[in-house]
């Protein structure tokens, strides 16, 4: 009788020990542990957009946030024209999991749901008040910023899914590479595009292997040939750098 009781108590202790949650930081990320995946959102604020687009951008980002894996990291950046290497995200959060992600046997699911709301959704909603505000800038260095973020060690060291969501008109316009200027296509050859990429990424070029991309193209009053050519060029750039383009949608 006593031996059986000892085994039962020992088993409960072992299961309880395994289910002890790791401590979390204020942003919901686990202390001293890499996130199992990272999801990066880039919001282009180099051209003005109306309140309707602001609302759509907000909904798109919140939808993305709610879809990510438990403990995965979400970084939201804005493109504002000037690009400084290793500029910080507007907000970094990790998904601590909704209540139903936890076993009812070992956790208070209502408490976990409140934590999810208070430490993940609510901070993101507050940050979005500023993130989705329209802006304007003379340049739009989209590719420079994507290259910067995808080469950061803290991003590349994550072994799981690495996704980049671009919310932009995708009209790359910088000194190194200009596809669109004053709402018109720039007459740029494939050789000039490749030279611009080398200036941005160095002799080894862009390295998007292990990253998947989705694009929400913010529709502007561009001629259709501009929209079509911009998409074609970006599709070629991502594929040429061994990235995977999963979605291209109009916003």
Give residue 49's pLDDT.
Answer: 87
Residue 70: domain span: 23-171+207-250
Residue 135 has pLDDT above 50, yes or no: yes
The pair phi, psi for residue 238, each rounded to 5°, is -65, -45
CATH number of the CATH domain containing 53: 3.40.50
Band the pLDDT of 87: cuts 50, 70, 90. Answer: very high
Mean pLDDT throughout 135-155?
96
User: What is the per-residue pLDDT across 53-64, written as a single tens digit (0 to 9) for each?
Assistant: 999 999 999 999
CA distances, 232 to each of 235, 238, 245 (Å): 5, 10, 12
CB 28 within 8 A of CB 69: no
The pair phi, psi for residue 88, each rounded to 5°, is -80, 160
Give residue 1's pLDDT.
Answer: 47
Residue 7 has pLDDT above 80, yes or no: no
- Whole-number mean pLDDT of the chain? 90
Residue 41 has pLDDT above 90, yes or no: yes
Give residue 21's pLDDT.
Answer: 59
Give residue 33's pLDDT.
Answer: 87
Instruction: State the greatest distance between any 2 C-alpha atoms of the chain, in Å, as a whole number.
Output: 86
User: What is the per-residue pLDDT across 161-183, written as a single tens digit (0 to 9) for each?
Assistant: 999 999 999 999 999 999 998 88
Collapse the DSSP code of 139 into the 3-class scheme (helix H, G, I; strand E, B; otherwise coil) and give the result.
coil
Q: Select from 180, 28, 137, 182 the least CA-distant residue to 91.
A: 28
Domain-embedded: residue 3: no
Mean pLDDT throughout 231-243?
97
Band the pLDDT of 6: cuts 50, 70, 90. Answer: very low
Location of structure tokens 């601590």: 96
Residue 238 has pLDDT above 70, yes or no: yes
When mean pLDDT is compared over 70-74, 80-84, 181-185, the highest value belongs to 70-74
Domain-embedded: residue 156: yes
Calpha distance 78→55 (Å, rounded): 16
Domain-embedded: residue 128: yes
**E strand or H helix that includes residue 183:** none
Structure tokens belonging to residue 71: 């403990």
CA distances, 35 to each of 69, 108, 163, 164, 244 (Å): 10, 23, 13, 16, 21
Strands 91-94 and 73-79: antiparallel
Domain-embedded: residue 198: no
CA torsion sign for 22, 28, 30, 34 is positive
Give residue 11's pLDDT.
Answer: 46
Calpha distance 121→118 (Å, rounded): 7
Give residue 31's pLDDT.
Answer: 86
User: What is the per-residue pLDDT across 95-120, written as a single tens digit (0 to 9) for each?
Assistant: 999 999 999 999 999 999 999 999 99
Judging by beta carbons within 10 Å of its beta carbon (0-12, 13-18, 19+), is residue 223 exposed, middle or buried?
Answer: exposed
- Radius of gyration of the chain from Cα atoms? 22
User: What is the per-residue pLDDT across 192-218, written as a single tens digit (0 to 9) for each?
Assistant: 999 999 999 999 999 999 999 999 998
Domain-embedded: residue 13: no
Calpha distance 180→187 (Å, rounded): 9
Band the pLDDT of 221: cuts 50, 70, 90. Answer: confident
Calpha distance 99→162 (Å, rounded): 25
Calpha distance 103→108 (Å, rounded): 8
Domain-embedded: residue 245: yes
Calpha distance 215→223 (Å, rounded): 19
Domain-embedded: residue 54: yes
Domain-embedded: residue 100: yes
| Span of 23-32, 36-45, 164-173, 222-231 with lowest mean pLDDT | 23-32
CA distances, 9 to each of 106, 129, 133, 241 (Å): 16, 51, 57, 55
What is the number of domains present in the chain?
A: 1
């Amino acid at each position: 009788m006593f031996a059986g009781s000892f085994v039962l108590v020992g088993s409960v202790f072992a299961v309880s020990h395994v289910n002890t949650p790791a401590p979390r930081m204020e942003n919901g990320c686990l202390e001293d542990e890499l996130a199992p995946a990272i999801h990066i959102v880039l919001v282009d604020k180099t051209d003005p957009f109306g309140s309707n687009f602001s609302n759509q951008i907000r909904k798109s980002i919140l939808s993305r946030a709610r879809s990510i894996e438990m403990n995965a990291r979400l970084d939201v950046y804005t493109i504002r024209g000037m690009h400084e290497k290793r500029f910080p995200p507007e907000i970094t959060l990790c998904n601590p999991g909704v209540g139903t992600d936890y076993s009812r046997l070992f956790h208070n699911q209502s408490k976990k749901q409140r934590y999810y709301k208070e430490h993940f959704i609510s901070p993101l909603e507050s940050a979005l008040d500023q993130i989705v505000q329209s802006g304007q800038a003379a340049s739009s260095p989209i590719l420079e910023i994507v290259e910067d973020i995808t080469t950061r060690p803290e991003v590349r060291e994550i072994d799981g899914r690495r996704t980049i969501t671009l919310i932009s008109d995708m009209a790359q316009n910088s000194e190194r590479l200009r596809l669109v200027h004053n709402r018109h296509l720039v007459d740029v050859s494939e050789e000039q595009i490749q030279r611009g990429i080398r200036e941005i990424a160095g002799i080894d070029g862009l390295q998007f292997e292990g990253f998947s991309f989705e694009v929400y193209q913010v529709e502007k009053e561009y001629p259709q040939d501009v929209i079509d050519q911009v998409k074609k060029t970006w599709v070629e750039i991502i594929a040429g750098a061994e990235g995977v383009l999963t979605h291209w949608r109009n916003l």
